Amino acid sequence: MKTIPPTIRTLYADLAQELHARSERPGSVYIRAIKGIDYAYAKRSVGVTRRDVFLGRADDPETVARVEAIKAEGERTKARRKTISALKAGGVPAPAPQLGAVLDALDDAGLLPKMVVVGTAAYQCYAPLTGIHLPALHLMTQDADFATLSLTIEGDEEGEDLETILKRADATFAAVPGLNRKSLPAHFRTSSGLMVDLLTPQLRRDDPNPMPMEKLKAGATPLHYLKWLIEEPVHAAVLFSAGIPVAVPQPARYALHKLIVAQKRTTDRAKRDKDLAQASALIAVLKQSDPYALEDARDAAIAEGKDGWETPVRRSLAEIGLTDEFEPVSG
């Protein structure tokens, strides 16, 4: 396995820390007079568009502080772009432009801090977090999955629904109607096929599908095992534009989750194979970089129960030939 040099890992960790401490996105500040009063606005790039953001009265102390923060962020952005170029040159994966634009739009709307990125979009972040390159074949995706514990989240701009936000990433985004036309949509797709799905933990067997997220005019698909997966997520950085802060599941929990859900897929062989391939790759990496985290995740999963947890883990491990090397033991 090819390791990522310590200098590149340190550079990435510093970038992620700085992004997660960021209070404003960069933009060009300008003043507009309305009925004799000066108001401050910021024009900023979002996804594939540019938008104007209202900041407040230009003489308001809070507005003045925001303006200064935006200007300072602009200076830091220049340095970040150089950092991101160095990270890409060092082999750290970057998302496809379409996925990057989606993440950028959600970040701009203030939604990403309230979500955990899951699925292959999260898997793409694990190389710099574990310090070892992952197979490039398993990094490809046409899906972007976002999980949240809260069904009441909303964006920064009052009244904006999710479809409006996503259209800043791709104007062709549209809601995909569900079987129940009266339900709020949980899936959004572009003309090229990129799918965005909202997910939430299933708390009861009779949870409606999808669960309504009224403020976003969207629905979230309730899933078993999801609450366990997104417990105590870790900070990461996506190498798009000047960097995007995201939260992703712990790598070891992601691997165990894939072992479990692979056994639940009875009709989609391609996704099942991808689940097993990603789990196998991550297990191999974690055995080298963080074996104790892998053992802890295994024990935590098995502690949840036998039929729905330990049994599928054992079956998946047998399929990928890791039973002897990574054997869960009850009790």
Same domain for 114 and 49: no
The domain that holds 170 is classified in CATH as 3.30.460.40
Classify residue 136 as exposed, middle or buried by CB count within 10 Å of its CB (0-12, 13-18, 19+).
exposed
pLDDT at 330 over 80: no
Among 89, 107, 128, give the residue marking a domain's end. Answer: 89
pLDDT at 132 over 70: yes
Question: Does some domain include residue 241?
Answer: yes
Residue 141 has a pLDDT of 74
pLDDT at 182 over 90: no
From the list 80, 208, 102, 108, the residue with the least C-alpha distance to 146 is 102
Supply 205's token pair.
């067997």
pLDDT at 252 over 90: yes
Among 89, 110, 139, give the residue marking a domain's end. Answer: 89
Residue 225 has a pLDDT of 95
| Between 318 and 328, the higher pLDDT residue | 318
Supply 263's token pair.
């056994």
Residue 180 has a pLDDT of 76
Q: What is the mean pLDDT of the chain?
A: 91
Residue 322 has a pLDDT of 87
What number is the average pLDDT over the span 85-94? 94
Same domain for 186 and 39: no
pLDDT at 69 over 80: yes
Range(s) of the domain holding residue 23: 17-89
Residue 271 has a pLDDT of 87
Classify residue 315 as exposed, middle or buried by CB count within 10 Å of its CB (0-12, 13-18, 19+).
middle
Residue 329 has a pLDDT of 47
Among 89, 112, 140, give the residue marking a domain's end. Answer: 89
Confidence of residue 179 (pLDDT cuts 50, 70, 90): confident
Residue 269 has a pLDDT of 86
Supply 268's token pair.
């989609």
Same domain for 308 and 164: yes
Residue 138 has a pLDDT of 66
Same domain for 132 and 59: no
What number is the average pLDDT over the span 151-171? 89
| Between 183 and 235, the higher pLDDT residue | 235
71-75, 215-219, 267-271, 301-305: lowest mean pLDDT where? 267-271
Question: Does some domain include residue 230?
Answer: yes
Question: Does some domain include residue 327?
Answer: no
Same domain for 245 and 210: yes
Same domain for 59 and 175: no
Is the whole model's pTM more than 0.85, yes or no?
yes
Confidence of residue 59 (pLDDT cuts 50, 70, 90): very high
Question: Does some domain include residue 326?
Answer: no
Question: Does some domain include residue 167?
Answer: yes
Same domain for 83 and 109: no
Same domain for 155 and 81: no
Same domain for 166 and 60: no
Same domain for 84 and 135: no
Same domain for 152 and 294: yes
Confidence of residue 331 (pLDDT cuts 50, 70, 90): very low
Same domain for 111 and 61: no
Q: How many domains does the chain have?
A: 2
Q: DSSP per residue over 128-182, as a string?
A: HHHTB---GGGG--SEEEEE-S-SS---SSTT--HHHHHTTT-TT-EE---SSTT
Question: Does some domain include residue 331?
Answer: no
